[in-house]
Structure 1
Amino acid sequence: MPDLRTERLLLRSWREADRAPWAAMNADPEVREHLGEPLTTAQSDASIDRFQEALDSRGWGWWAVEVAATGEFAGFAGLDPVEDGLPFTGIEAGWRLARGAWGHGYATEAAHAVLAYGFDTLGLPEILALTTAMNTRSQAVMRRLGMTYDPADDFDDPSVPPGPLRASVVYRLPRAAYRLDTR
């Protein structure tokens, strides 16, 4: 499984040392604001195990993100198939950072590396990004990446209990638009 490198970040396999900061992130109500209830340590550990299993078996998925200059764990970013039961299919890009990593442009930087891998290495025709309708910060990252939004794609996420987090949006980036925007 390849590491992805940017000017300031390393997207890599998960390590045992990532478990505590990942659990802390997932227990932080601000980090989880658009994701639902905070996770327990056991739930966070199980997610790392799933992420690493996917990386090992497919060669891509949700990479751990660290700040290259310090080695500090910053969160995750990657690609994953859209979950079953949604009104569309495809591969989605995503990211989640610890609060201390917010405001540095890391989400956009990591997502650019993920998009390049998806288009240039995997040959994907399109990459999606999904979030709650209320998550304006993630939507801003999606726009900075050159992704476009169509209200016709809005959906209620069936995996989310009824409430304000259920209303979701989809941003799309076709390969041709990526090449025009980033090359």
Structure 2
Amino acid sequence: MRIFLETERLVLRAFTEADADRLLELDNDPAVMRFINGGRPTSREVIRDETLPRLLHDHPCIGTRGYWAAEEKATGTFLGWFAFRPLSEDSPIVVELGYRLTTSAWGAGYATEGARALIRKGFTDLGVDRVTANTMTVNSRSRRVMEKAGLSYVRSFTEDWPDVIEGSEHGDVAYELTRTEWERQALR
């Protein structure tokens, strides 16, 4: 198991193909997927052919992967995943933060804890200058995590998604945190 980062309660480790069943369960929870695909089921083939290759991809510009399996440190329980991936394969300057956690992990502060740790690592070790994150406007829980992790609202936008899901008529929101702002927050 290749550990990328540890926090007080979390271990973020590299995904392996052995995680397929955990990902299948996560992506087949309608509550978890509500703001991703409207809660529709995900097939084992999609996990094998699309999801796992994305999660196993190494990004040379940061020398590591962009997606990390999240486990509870005390028990080893799979909690979901965090994303901290460069938007360009050639540059670590701008990364996208994301998270997808099991419903049993909701409300316990894991998303904020993991997000803050990734942001700190990005700004101190990986050469990141800006962290971005997006979610549906109506996804208030995810927006709150972004805010608690230090990101600020930048703009609202709409896109043409292939499948309309409940709440998509309200569009999406973008958040960001720059290294300068992160350093300023740390001084407060």
Which bracket does the TM-score occupy, shorter chain normalised? Answer: 0.7 to 0.9
The C-alpha deviation readout for 1:124-178, integer Å capped at 9, x for no partner, is 111011101110000000110111113xx21223444345336110011111111
Inter-partner Cα distance in structure 1 for 2:116 and 2:82: 10
Q: Give the match for residue 73 of structure 1.
A: 78
Moved more, 97-106 or 55-64: 55-64
Q: Which amino acid aligns with 2:67?
A: W
The answer to whether the 8 A contact 1:55-1:62 is kept is: no
Q: Percent identity?
A: 32
Q: Which residue of 158, 175, 178 maps to 1:156?
A: 158
Inter-partner Cα distance in structure 1 for 2:80 and 2:116: 15
Inter-partner Cα distance in structure 1 for 2:67 and 2:160: 22
Q: Which amino acid aligns with 1:77?
A: F
Q: Which amino acid aligns with 1:157?
A: E
Inter-partner Cα distance in structure 2 for 1:117 and 1:60: 13
- Give 3-state SS (helix, strand or coil) of 1:74's partner: strand
TM-score w.r.t. length of structure 2: 0.83
Q: Give the match for residue 128 of structure 2.
A: 124
- Give 3-state SS (helix, strand or coil) of 1:104's partner: coil
The C-alpha deviation readout for 1:81-118, integer Å capped at 9, x for no partner, is 349xxxxx942101010111111110001111111122
Q: Give the match for residue 114 of structure 2.
A: 110
Unmatched runs of 5 consecutive residues or more in structure 2: none
Q: Which amino acid aligns with 2:69?
A: A
The C-alpha deviation readout for 1:10-46, integer Å capped at 9, x for no partner, is 1011134422121111011100010013321221233
Q: Which amino acid aligns with 1:79?
A: F
More strand by share: 2
1:55-66 matched pairs, under 5 angstroms: 58-66=63-71
Inter-partner Cα distance in structure 1 for 2:159 and 2:85: 16
Q: Which residue of 156, 175, 186 maps to 1:171?
A: 175
TM-score w.r.t. length of structure 1: 0.85
- Aligned residue pairs, count: 176
Q: Give the match for residue 50 of structure 1.
A: 54
Unmatched runs of 5 consecutive residues or more in structure 1: 84-88
Inter-partner Cα distance in structure 2 for 1:91 and 1:32: 22
The answer to whether the 8 A contact 1:13-1:55 is kept is: no
